[in-house]
């Protein structure tokens, strides 16, 4: 539980760091503002057509009476959760890609004020592009798998909707950490996901304490714009904590 609460505190500290620097904060809002528009449009479209979509593959339950109504309502909730999981993680990946120079700058700022770092790795441009594309494909695949697992969990009798919500937030939080810690890990020469596993190993509770509330906040379109740059700053603190680096000194506004 202490590790979970530490993860939450690191996210809160990230909020304080970025919000105390208005220029950096406003700059970090631009990429999520763009992708949030797409996310809102998608959610509105889903909400308007949810009944039609659910009815298309649950027509067999119309003869069940009240039980059929409950069944269709549960399926609608589960489908919405699965799509929300897919959209939030896609939103995170797309925003990090669009705003990479900005978020690298935020992460570097936090690192620079907390202590010296080894020189950044000299990666050829072609290798960097190939690695980024392969990691994005892997992330999309994992996100689709997580959405399917969320939907299947929702089919469990009685507790399906609640179980789907738990699966959605836990899985989303884990994948959120995987994505948003990228800039800080890359600066330390941990370029591939496989290179980062030793650092992540044994810090599951810490990652969940950071990732689950970050995922929840980023699932709210308007709030996501405000939280995203702060989550990047907090993710840098998270990486430093996992690697045993200095995190005690909170950067002051300059």
Structure confidence at residue 248 (pLDDT): 61
User: What is the residue extent of each domain of the chain?
Assistant: 2-62+69-242
Q: Is the pLDDT of residue 54 over 70?
A: no
Structure confidence at residue 210 (pLDDT): 92
Distances (CA, A) of 73 to 44, 47, 78, 148, 221: 18, 13, 9, 18, 24
Q: What pLDDT digit, counting tens, does each position of 99-121 carry?
A: 888 888 888 888 887 877 666 66
* pTM for the model: 0.76
Q: Is the pLDDT of residue 156 over 60?
A: yes
Structure confidence at residue 251 (pLDDT): 46
More confident position, 3 or 36: 3
Confidence bin at 68 (pLDDT 50/70/90): low
CB 187 within 8 A of CB 120: yes
Q: What is the 3-state secondary structure (H, E, C) of the chain?
A: CHHHHHHHHHHHHHHHHHHCCHHHHHHHHHHHHHHHHHHHHHHHHHHHHHHHHHHHHCHHHHHHCHHHHHHHHHHHHHHHHHHHHHHHHHHHHHHHHHCHHHHHHHHHHHHHHHCCCCCCCCCCHHHHHHHHHHHHHHHHHHHHHHHHHHHHHHCCCCCHHHHHHHHHHHHHHHHHHHHHCHHHHHHCCCCCHHHHHHHHCCCHHHHHHHHHHHHHHHCCHHHHHHHHHHHHHHHHHHHHHHCCCCCCCCCCCC
Confidence bin at 60 (pLDDT 50/70/90): low
Q: Tell me which of 32-41, 116-125, 191-200, 234-243 is least confident.
A: 116-125
Q: What angle do CA 187, 11, 111 make, to 5 degrees?
A: 30
């Amino acid at each position: 539980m202490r590790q979970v609460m530490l993860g939450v505190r690191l996210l809160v500290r990230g909020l304080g760091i970025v919000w105390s620097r208005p220029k950096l904060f406003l700059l970090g809002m631009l990429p999520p503002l763009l992708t949030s528009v797409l996310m809102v449009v998608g959610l509105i479209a889903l909400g308007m057509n949810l009944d039609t979509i659910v009815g298309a593959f649950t027509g067999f339950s119309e003869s069940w009476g009240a039980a059929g109504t409950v069944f269709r309502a549960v399926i609608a909730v589960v489908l919405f959760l699965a799509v929300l999981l897919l959209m939030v993680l896609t939103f995170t990946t797309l925003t990090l890609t669009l705003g990479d120079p900005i978020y690298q700058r935020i992460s570097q700022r936090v690192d620079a004020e907390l202590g010296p770092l080894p020189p950044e790795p000299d990666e050829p441009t072609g290798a960097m592009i190939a690695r980024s594309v392969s990691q994005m494909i892997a992330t999309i695949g994992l996100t689709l798998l997580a959405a399917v697992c969320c939907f299947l969990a929702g089919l469990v009798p009685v507790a399906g909707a609640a179980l789907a919500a738990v699966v959605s937030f836990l899985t989303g939080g884990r994948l959120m950490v995987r994505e948003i810690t990228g800039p800080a890990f890359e600066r330390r020469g941990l370029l591939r996901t496989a290179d980062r596993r030793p650092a992540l190993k044994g810090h599951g509770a810490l990652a969940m304490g950071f990732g689950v509330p970050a995922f929840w906040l980023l699932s709210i379109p308007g709030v996501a714009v405000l939280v995203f740059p702060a989550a990047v700053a907090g993710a840098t603190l998270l990486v430093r904590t996992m690697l045993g680096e200095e995190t005690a000194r909170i950067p002051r506004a300059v």
